[in-house]
Structure 1
């Protein structure tokens, strides 16, 4: 089974981009600070960082802070404490940087998505019965299964107070194009699917990394943890994969155990085996 090549710990320690990412994980350095520490010019660092991670250093830092905020809110902490702990400094900075990316205010997110509009539908795809749901920012759930009521219940448990609107597949101007893109991806195509990744900062980093694994390749849980600069976080990586709600589009099926066995899969090991066999073919 092909295995994705990942950097060794020594390579990570000398890689200026990995150093920049670690500095961002540990604090809030400016671009000039990062350039001085990595030995790259600010413009070169900016360009290479975006090419590697898909985000500028500033965007990476903003996403990390947002993940910290959302995790605290999900744990039930009050908004004021959560915003200062996440590093926003003031409520105004929170709503400038955080609320728009949540697609809702922090208090609303903490309250189970109260008032947030999520459109969803159930369709038959090449992988069986599928629930597809989207916020205004992108797809927030692609659930696979055989029981419509179970699929719907999963969505309602995730956003118990959201404004969930079921629409007829293919006839809703908002969801229809997103649904077509998801269906193409489930069929093995490469359609671009905008996603709304709602999770902790670490979960988002794992999910982002998953989307960078090419079709036909796999990586171990430990290897993915090492690539994220957290070599002891293999279990946390496995947990993030288990909490991925966007099947195939966020390809957690490409993560396996170090011994080459499949490991777990939210939507069943036979389906994981099917997906990997299809991609290898």
Structure 2
């Protein structure tokens, strides 16, 4: 039976691609101040449907969103001397704030567990829709070990996770994955815990903890993370640890941008990173 939670997740997953496409199109064309009809055509929707969907998902009408980009661009250009386009791209899409009502308890497992390549460990895994497309979740007895978006497909995403711990036992349970997705994206009330069981090296876990500490409403650079973990000259190593983050969204590696303010490579696609930042900007 389809519950309200299932319907919300299915709808959010279906709408994600259209909104991501619209955000990318508006990000490229905002200087032309496109009208509603032009923006709707970029998604293949009617103007009425697009207006309702965009406003519900982003929290602003398309017109107000374009205005916010223009205003942010002018302000940042004046303050930082950056080009208007670069300033708008950054300021308009960098407003983290989605995690303020979640309490994340991160728990590291022993290095020996990882060294044995998962021997003796048992995982439940499953596929589920999310607000940012289909995802694969890996759940350990102690908590969530991985949340990976299904790019290009579910099997490839699972194979990537399986390769980290090939000796572990795996049982597929899509219903369990969907329940966790509801807990993560739909919320379980203020303070609802989302425990993480992080399998990684001590260095990686140190970087992942630093990501968890990025304040709502801010982004940071790889260099800043390196300074926080007391290795200011290791920005490249930090980048590798950020890229190895197994838990998308909850450990917000999408909030890390280049030192020049540009969006950089994201394991699950820059398009998705842009959509996440816009989603958080609306929540803020």
TM-score bin (small chain): 0.5 to 0.7
| In the alignment, structure 1 residue 168 sits paired with structure 2 residue 178 | no
CA distance in 2, matches of 1:208, 1:109: 18
Aligned pairs for 1:49-128 (under 5 A) are: 101-102=109-110, 106=112, 109-128=114-133
Secondary structure at the counterpart of residue 224 of structure 1:
helix
**Does the CA-based 8 Å contact 2:148-2:247 persist in structure 1?**
yes
**Does the CA-based 8 Å contact 2:128-2:174 persist in structure 1?**
no
| In the alignment, structure 1 residue 156 sits paired with structure 2 residue 162 | yes
**Does the CA-based 8 Å contact 2:114-2:199 persist in structure 1?**
no
* 1:275–1:176 CA distance, 2 compared to 1 (3 A): closer
Q: Per-residue CA shift, 1:41-79, capped at 9, x if unaligned?
A: xxxxxxxxxxxxx99xxxxxxx9xx8xxxxxxxxxxxxx
Q: Per-residue CA shift, 1:99-141, capped at 9, x if unaligned?
A: xx43xx82x5323111211001101111111001111111111
**Shift, 1:191, TM fit:** 5.0
Structure 1 spans left out of the alignment, 5+ residues:
5-53, 56-62, 67-100
* 1:177–1:128 CA distance, 2 compared to 1 (3 A): closer
Q: Give the paired residue count.
A: 179
TM-score (ref. length: structure 2): 0.57
Structure 2 spans left out of the alignment, 5+ residues:
1-89, 96-103
Secondary structure at the counterpart of residue 196 of structure 1:
strand
**Does the CA-based 8 Å contact 1:184-1:190 persist in structure 2?**
no
**Shift, 1:192, TM fit:** 3.2
**Shift, 1:222, TM fit:** 0.5
Q: Which residue of 1 aligns with 2:147?
A: 142
**Does the CA-based 8 Å contact 1:197-1:204 persist in structure 2?**
yes
Secondary structure at the counterpart of residue 143 of structure 1:
strand
- Give the RMSD, CA atoms, in angstroms: 2.7
Q: Per-residue CA shift, 1:12-57, capped at 9, x if unaligned?
A: xxxxxxxxxxxxxxxxxxxxxxxxxxxxxxxxxxxxxxxxxx99xx
